[in-house]
A and B are shown apart, each in its own frame.
Chain A
Amino acid sequence: MEVYDCRQKTDFINAALLWDTKTNQKLTSVAGKNVIRGGKASWDFYWQLFGRNSIDNKGMLIRQYVHFDKGMDNAYWDGRRMVYGDGDGTVFTSFTSDIDVIGHELTHGVTENEANLDYENQAGALNESFSDIFGIMIKQRFNNQDVKKSNWLIGEKVMIGPKYALRSLKAPGTAYINHPELGSDPQPATMDKYQNLPDTESGDFGGVHINSGIPNFAFYVAAFNMGGYAWEKAGRIWYAVLTDAGLAQDANFTAVKNLTIVHAEKIFGINSPEVKAVKQGWSEAKV
Chain B
Amino acid sequence: MKIKLTRTGGFIPITKAAETDVNISNQELANLLVTLKHDTAAPRIKDGNYYELTVGSNSTLVDLEKVPDEYKDLFSKLKSELKIIKHGEF
Q: Show the binding face of A for B, using Cβ within 8 Å.
A: 10-11, 70, 72-79, 91, 95, 101, 104-105, 108, 112, 119-120, 127, 131, 155, 166-167, 181-184, 186, 201-202, 204-205, 209-210
Contacts and interface: CB of A to CB of B under 8 A. Distances in A.
Contacts, number: 82
B43 interface: yes
Interface string B48-80: 111010000000010011000000000000011
Interface residues of B, number: 28
A73 B87 contact: no
B9 A204 contact: yes
Nearest to A79: B43
A77 B61 contact: no
Contact of B47 (A11, A70, A74, A210): A74
A108 B33 CA distance: 31
Given A74-B47, A186-B87, A209-B10, 11 more contacts: A76-B48, A77-B45, A91-B84, A101-B11, A108-B47, A183-B86, A201-B9, A202-B50, A202-B52, A209-B11, A209-B47
Contacts of A105: 46-47
**Interface core residue of A70, A76, A78, A202 (most chain B CB under 10 Å):** A202
Contacts of A112: 46
A45 B48 CA distance: 25
Contacts of A181: 84, 86
